[in-house]
């Protein structure tokens, strides 16, 4: 190969494969991609403000929901105590009436005989054979009850009346507290509903910003892909066959070109081919990727970004195809990208919700070369920060949150259609559901029926206002993360063939009817299915 030489000048002839950022390339002014270094606040200030507002409303409604639950329990307990006290008072009434009947008959005997009754007189007053046969004991009871039984019965009755009054007051207090909490909950729900107009406006603004950034990002991605195709075309036109190590070639035109190893070209081609695919936290392709899922796909690696860094050989002279591991160190190894040139990398970015070309940030923990032999696992930076957990450039929340967006405030541009109506979900959930729906269609000869998917914060507030005892507190629903569906067409009922099929097959696609929604759990919802929760 004429003009081929390898040496220290190698980096000086690197083709800048990664396109410039949109603001430098003159694309979509004002729609610059966020700084890829993680920080305490999400890069979109409008979304950050929405997050704080939504959190305040969510916290208030959550507190009220818990208080209402306790108040309902207090109402039930006080009602049961009142019923018990009322029964005790009624029993005391009956005892007083019984004692009073004895006294009345005793008084009648006195009036008839103008003196104290004897046993014969009492027997003559008997009203039944039992009274007649029990005349002696009746006489004894009447004599003993003159000063005691009626008084005791009256005292017990008075105590029962007081207990019933106390129980009634307690029940009223519990009911009043429940009514007050319901009123406050209604007020909070109304406040949440009142600000949803502002949310709607800001969310539309945020969505427009994200759409503009995605368009600018697509331009950058397309330009990078074009640069890479042009590089491959030059190699093919010159008849150059890549070898196991990088070399430098001078083309007939006089252009000097680095010829990267075959394994590097194959991996970078895979990464470039994934540009524009959606981000998914557990994505390994080919439909969606996480950052470490992309590098697993490109190089056949295993494990997380940290696990990859632990076994790959580190290098200090990064070349195209090498991996760059991103911090800052206090977050541990939270991101990994495929190096394109000294300035840019390809990564599945959680905040940009896709596989993108982005600048290599300053918080680099190290570079590694997958083409070199693996080493025994070595220590790598571990997370020491006790705050938010970052992964692939975005916040990874244990509640199911993703990409740094608040629950129910995810722009439509960050979601993917499921192929039924206008329903949308997080992209990995959407793609998985499409596979589930295809299998269902093969089994039943008709498409699946869906009534609800991603649920905005505004929709959560409305539903909570209608069904506060059943609906999730706004800002906590898995519908608001784009990870839940409500089904119809038979699957919404226990005991149907459709529900039985879902129970038997949905798990293969990552979907489940959660345990709290199953029969006997107090909140049966056969129609509600969640992805990867």
Question: How is the chain split into domains, by residue range?
Answer: 48-209, 265-394, 416-531
- Confidence band of 368 (pLDDT split at 50, 70, 90): very high
**What residues contact 293, with CB distance under 8 A and at least 6 apart?**
280, 282, 283, 284, 285, 348
Helices 149-237, 457-466: crossing angle, 10 deg rounding = 160
- Does 29 score more than 70 pLDDT? no
Q: pLDDT above 90 covers what percent of the chain?
A: 36
Write down the residue that tokens 């529900």 correspond to: 499
**What residues contact 191, with CB distance under 8 A and at least 6 apart?**
57
pLDDT attached to residue 367: 98
| Fold of the domain spanning 416-531 | Muramoyl-pentapeptide Carboxypeptidase; domain 2 (3.30.1380)
pLDDT digits (tens, 9 = 90+) for 387-407: 778 889 887 765 556 666 778
- Does 269 score more than 80 pLDDT? yes
pLDDT attached to residue 124: 55
Q: How far apart are CA 320 and CA 276, in angstroms?
A: 20
pLDDT attached to residue 6: 32
pLDDT attached to residue 438: 96
- Does 217 score more than 80 pLDDT? yes
324 compared with 109, residue with greater pLDDT: 324
pLDDT attached to residue 19: 67
44 compared with 290, residue with greater pLDDT: 290
Q: pLDDT above 70 covers what percent of the chain?
A: 73
pLDDT attached to residue 385: 84
pLDDT attached to residue 436: 96
> Is 285 within 8 Å of 294 (Cβ atoms)?
yes
pTM for the complete prediction?
Answer: 0.61
pLDDT attached to residue 402: 66
Q: How far apart are CA 344 and CA 275, in angstroms?
A: 14
> Is 411 within 8 Å of 207 (Cβ atoms)?
yes
**What residues contact 349, with CB distance under 8 A and at least 6 apart?**
36, 279, 291, 355, 356, 358, 392, 393, 394
Q: How far apart are CA 345 and CA 342, in angstroms?
A: 8
Average pLDDT over residues 223-247: 90
pLDDT digits (tens, 9 = 90+) for 285-318: 888 899 999 999 999 999 999 999 999 999 999 9
Superfamily of domain 265-394 in CATH is endopeptidase domain like (from Nostoc punctiforme) (3.90.1720.10)
pLDDT attached to residue 413: 72
End-to-end CA distance of the chain: 56
225 compared with 139, residue with greater pLDDT: 225
- Does 210 score more than 50 pLDDT? yes
Lowest mean pLDDT among 58-72, 440-454, 476-490: 58-72
pLDDT attached to residue 327: 92
The radius of gyration of the chain's CA atoms, rounded to the nearest angstrom, is 38
**What residues contact 122, with CB distance under 8 A and at least 6 apart?**
105, 109, 135, 138, 139, 142
Residues 425/431/434/438 CA torsion (nearest 10 deg): -160
Q: For the chain, how many residues are written?
A: 533
Lowest mean pLDDT among 79-88, 212-221, 436-445: 79-88
Query: Which residues does residue 314 pair with via DSSP β-bridges, in sequence order?
Result: 368
**What residues contact 141, with CB distance under 8 A and at least 6 apart?**
102, 149
What is the residue-averaged pLDDT of the chain?
A: 79
Average pLDDT over residues 497-519: 94
Lowest mean pLDDT among 269-283, 390-404, 408-422: 390-404
pLDDT digits (tens, 9 = 90+) for 428-468: 889 889 999 999 999 999 999 999 999 987 788 778 767 76
Average pLDDT over residues 318-336: 94
pLDDT digits (tens, 9 = 90+) for 91-121: 877 877 776 676 666 656 655 554 555 555 5
**What residues contact 283, with CB distance under 8 A and at least 6 apart?**
289, 290, 293, 348, 427, 428
Q: How far apart are CA 17 and CA 340, in angstroms?
A: 6
pLDDT attached to residue 253: 82
pLDDT attached to residue 14: 44
């Amino acid at each position: 190969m004429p003009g081929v030489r390898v040496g220290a000048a190698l980096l000086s002839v690197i083709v800048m494969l990664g396109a410039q950022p949109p603001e430098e390339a003159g694309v979509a002014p004002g729609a610059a991609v966020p700084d890829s270094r993680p920080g305490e606040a999400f890069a979109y200030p409008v979304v950050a403000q929405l997050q704080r507002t939504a959190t305040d409303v969510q916290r208030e409604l959550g507190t009220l929901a818990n208080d209402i639950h306790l108040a309902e329990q207090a109402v039930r307990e006080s009602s049961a105590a009142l019923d018990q006290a009322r029964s005790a008072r009624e029993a005391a009434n009956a005892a007083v009436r019984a004692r009073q009947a004895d006294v009345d008959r005793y008084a009648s005997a006195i009036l008839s005989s103008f003196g104290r009754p004897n046993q014969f007189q009492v027997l003559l007053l008997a009203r039944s054979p039992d009274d007649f046969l029990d005349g002696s004991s009746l006489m004894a009871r009447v004599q003993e009850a003159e000063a005691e039984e009626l008084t005791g019965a009256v005292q017990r009755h008075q105590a029962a009346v007081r207990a019933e009054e106390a129980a009634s007051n307690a029940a009223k207090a519990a009911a009043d507290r429940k009514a007050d909490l319901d009123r406050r909950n209604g007020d909070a729900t109304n406040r949440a509903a009142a600000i949803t107009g502002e949310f709607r406006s800001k969310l539309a603004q945020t969505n427009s910003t994200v759409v503009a950034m995605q368009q600018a990002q697509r331009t950058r991605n397309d330009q990078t892909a074009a640069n890479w195709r042009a590089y491959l075309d030059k190699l093919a036109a010159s008849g150059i066959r890549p070898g196991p190590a990088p070399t430098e070639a001078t083309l007939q035109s006089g252009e000097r070109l680095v010829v990267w190893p075959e394994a590097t070209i194959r991996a970078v081609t895979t990464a470039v081919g994934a540009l524009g695919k959606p981000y998914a936290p557990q994505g390994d392709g080919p439909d969606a990727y996480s950052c470490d899922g992309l590098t697993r796909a490109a190089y056949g690696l295993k494990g997380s970004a940290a696990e990859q860094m632990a076994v790959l050989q580190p290098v200090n002279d990064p070349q195209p195809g090498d991996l760059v591991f991103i911090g800052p160190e206090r977050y541990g190894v939270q991101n990994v990208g495929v190096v394109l040139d000294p300035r840019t990398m390809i990564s599945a970015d959680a905040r940009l919700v896709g596989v993108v070309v982005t600048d290599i940030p300053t918080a680099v923990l190290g570079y590694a070369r997958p083409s070199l032999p693996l080493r025994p696992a070595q220590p790598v930076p571990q997370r020491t920060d006790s705050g938010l957990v970052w992964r692939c450039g975005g916040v990874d929340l244990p509640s199911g949150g993703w990409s740094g967006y608040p629950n129910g405030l995810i722009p439509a541009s960050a979601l993917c259609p499921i192929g039924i109506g206008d329903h949308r979900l997080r992209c990995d959930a959407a793609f998985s559901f499409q596979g589930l729906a295809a299998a269902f269609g093969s089994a039943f000869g008709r498409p699946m029926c869906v009534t609800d998917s991603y649920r905005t914060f505004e929709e959560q507030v409305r539903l909570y206002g209608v069904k506060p005892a059943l609906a999730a507190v706004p800002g906590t629903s898995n519908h608001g993360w784009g990870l839940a569906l409500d089904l119809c067409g038979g699957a919404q009922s226990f005991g149907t063939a459709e529900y039985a099929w879902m129970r038997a097959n949905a798990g293969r696609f990552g979907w489940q009817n959660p345990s709290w929604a199953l029969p006997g759990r107090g909140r049966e919802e056969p129609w509600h299915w969640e992805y990867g929760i």
